[in-house]
Structure 1
Amino acid sequence: MRNKHERLPYARFIAEIRESPAYWTDYTYIKLFGKLASEMRLEWETIDGTPRIARNHIPEALGLEAVGFVERMTTELYTGNLSEAHDISINAAKRKYELPEPEDVNIDRLFESKTRKLNPQQIKKIQNDYAMGVSLKELAKRFEVTVQAISYHCKNVKRAI
């Protein structure tokens, strides 16, 4: 990724508050462009250099600049609610970079990936149940994910029993 070094403070920030960088990157892309990050990168790769592009196409340089702006602003605006900080930053980026409103902003798409089956509410439920004594294996079965996935989300959870 071309701007990887610029994204490091954001990635560290997301990791420090024990959130998923992939989830929040896709959240940003869906809200800015109506597409997952992988879909937008593919579009940029495909269209790059093509003389005839859709009038609402967002050039890669502008798109990456907007994403970087969102990431920088989110770290500054965070006061405990990551969704709120992202939403404020995304709205500001849309105005600043004059981005067209995406046609399809479907947040449920964030959970289509097999590696991201659990939403934040499910993770909280898993952590609460684990703290109350429910086994990793039982939680994995209940949420249809691997024991390793459950273990990852519960690694800093203190058990009551």
Structure 2
Amino acid sequence: MPYARFIAEIRESPAYWTDYTYIKLFGKLASEMRLEWETIDGTPRIARNHIPEALGLEAVGFVERMTTELYTGNLSEAHDISINAAKRKYELPEPEDVNIDRLFESKTRKLNPQQIKKIQNDYAMGVSLKELAKRFEVTVQAISYHCKNVKRAI
């Protein structure tokens, strides 16, 4: 099954997990790494630890394929195992700065997985979409999206 579809089917964010993969592999968000590839590839003066785009994309594809195969309920664990295998297979240097908190810098990705679970639990217990949106400082539409398949107890 294709990675993006797999992630969507288990009701996770493909953008979040793509950035998770890029940060763990390269120390950068996907958008930053793509920009680096766009500006550096083909330049004769490149850093010795620069990862060429073809190799980087092959490593990302490997992680995506392995993650779908290794998933047994813990998506973070499946990614971490796949990422470590990709680093060995493609002989990637260890990234200098692996800061997972950067995953939440994007204005479109303000909620982390723990917050989403809390929102879903509170919504199931009867808390309104409007109250949850106010509490987590996001739009009602964002809360509605994360709660679309949640059954309410009340």
Tell me the TM-score normalised to structure 1 length: 0.95
Matched residue of 1:128: which SS?
helix
1:31-75, Cα deviation, whole Å (9 max, x unpaired): 000000000000000002100100000000000000000000000
How far apart, CA to CA, are the structure 2 residues paired with 1:13 and 1:128?
23
Task: Trace 1:1-161 onto structure 2 (pairs within 5 A).
Answer: 9-161=2-154
How far apart, CA to CA, are the structure 2 residues paired with 1:68 and 1:115?
24
Distance apart, 1:14 and its partner CA: 0.3
How far apart, CA to CA, are the structure 2 residues paired with 1:11 and 1:158?
25
How far apart, CA to CA, are the structure 1 residues paired with 2:101 and 2:53?
25
How far apart, CA to CA, are the structure 2 residues paired with 1:137 and 1:126?
11
Matched residue of 2:37: which SS?
helix
Runs of 4+ in 1 over 3 A off after TM superposition: none
Distance apart, 1:19 and its partner CA: 0.3
How far apart, CA to CA, are the structure 2 residues paired with 1:28 and 1:47?
21
What is the identity percentage for the equivalent residue pairs of Structure 1 and Structure 2?
Answer: 99
List runs of 5+ in structure 2 lacking aligned partners: none
**How many residues in Structure 1 have an aligned counterpart in Structure 2?**
154
How far apart, CA to CA, are the structure 2 residues paired with 1:69 and 1:48?
21
How far apart, CA to CA, are the structure 1 residues paired with 2:118 and 2:17?
20
How far apart, CA to CA, are the structure 1 residues paired with 2:93 and 2:75?
24
Distance apart, 1:122 and its partner CA: 0.3
Matched residue of 2:50: which SS?
coil
How far apart, CA to CA, are the structure 1 residues paired with 2:6 and 2:148?
19
Distance apart, 1:151 and its partner CA: 0.1
1:77-102, Cα deviation, whole Å (9 max, x unpaired): 00000000000000000000000000
How far apart, CA to CA, are the structure 2 residues paired with 1:15 and 1:130?
21
Distance apart, 1:106 and its partner CA: 0.1
Matched residue of 2:7: which SS?
helix
